[in-house]
């Protein structure tokens, strides 16, 4: 049955340090736990180079000494193992009230995968799921990772899509703890592709999958 799309505030075309984005997400999530009637939010951004580990992630998947390195590393409350963010990788942070969608975390993960698969289809690429592994794959190589945190059915964290990043940063880790499969970026299939063009397709596919009306927003002041 069709229904009027829920509103979703869209913050787009942002480059932001990881910890600033993390604090912003937490603030958005906390306010929506207290006031569940607030609009959903989608943040699309890129990060300066940073490594993040899920709350239960193992350091055995990091190939450098965390205590003596020069890289930015953070352990945060999402699920999943270690991953890498950098410019050229498009990161999406949905702050959704799943009570308005479906109160099912497996459904939510599959919907995020569906968004990414639809984005790839725009470029005539066949994104795939691999049973028991979260994320999206192209020809057996991982191009999109997903890690979430949900509190009172309000989501935070989200997904990352390798569009045109410097892939060298992934060589210092075992991405997502998966040692027998490689990571890849869209530029290997579509030379010259940029995050600027993919942002619009990603926002549109996200709105389609979650049946949302996106409302463009300007960047707030982040203290």
Would you call 117 helix, strand, or coil by DSSP? helix
C-alpha–C-alpha distance, residues 121 and 114, integer Å: 10
Return the pLDDT at 25: 96
Domain architecture of the chain: domains with CATH? 7-217 (3.30.930.10)
Residues known to be catalytic: 176
* Run of H or E including 138: strand 133-138
The CA-CA-CA angle for residues 213, 218, 219, to 5°, reads 120
Kindly state the tokens that stand for 179. Answer: 């040692």
- Strand blocks (E) in 37-111: 40-46, 50-53, 73-75, 83-85, 89-95
Return the pLDDT at 221: 67
Closest CA to 160 of 116, 130, 120: 116
pLDDT (tens, 9 = 90+) of the chain, 223 residues, equals 447 889 999 999 778 999 999 999 999 999 999 999 999 999 999 999 999 988 888 888 888 888 878 889 998 888 888 899 999 999 999 999 999 999 999 999 999 999 999 999 999 999 999 998 899 999 999 999 999 999 999 999 999 999 999 999 999 888 777 666 789 999 999 999 999 999 999 999 999 999 999 999 987 766 5
Closest CA to 49 of 92, 93, 94, 88: 88
C-beta neighbour count of 26 within 10 angstroms: 16
Kindly state the tokens that stand for 24. Answer: 């912003």
pTM: 0.94
């Amino acid at each position: 049955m069709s229904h009027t799309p829920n509103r979703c505030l869209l913050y787009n075309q942002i480059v932001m340090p990881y910890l600033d984005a993390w604090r912003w997400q937490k603030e958005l999530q906390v306010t929506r736990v207290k006031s569940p009637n607030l609009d959903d939010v989608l943040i699309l951004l890129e990060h300066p180079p940073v490594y993040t580990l899920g709350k239960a992630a193992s350091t055995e998947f990091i190939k450098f000494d965390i205590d003596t390195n020069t890289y930015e590393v953070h352990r945060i409350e999402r699920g999943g193992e270690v991953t890498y963010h950098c410019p050229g990788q498009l990161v999406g942070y949905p702050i959704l009230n799943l009570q308005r969608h479906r109160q099912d975390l497996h459904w939510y993960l599959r919907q995020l995968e569906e968004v990414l698969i639809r984005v790839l289809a725009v470029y005539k690429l066949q994104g795939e799921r691999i049973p028991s592994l979260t994320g999206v794959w192209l020809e057996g190589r991982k191009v999109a990772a997903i890690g979430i945190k949900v509190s009172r059915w309000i989501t935070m964290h989200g997904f990352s899509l390798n569009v045109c990043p410097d892939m060298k940063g992934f060589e210092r880790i075992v991405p997502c703890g998966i040692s027998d499969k490689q990571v890849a970026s869209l530029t290997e299939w579509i030379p010259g592709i940029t995050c600027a063009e993919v942002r619009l397709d990603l926002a549109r596919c996200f709105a389609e999958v979650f049946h949302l009306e996106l409302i463009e927003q300007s960047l707030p002041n982040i203290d």
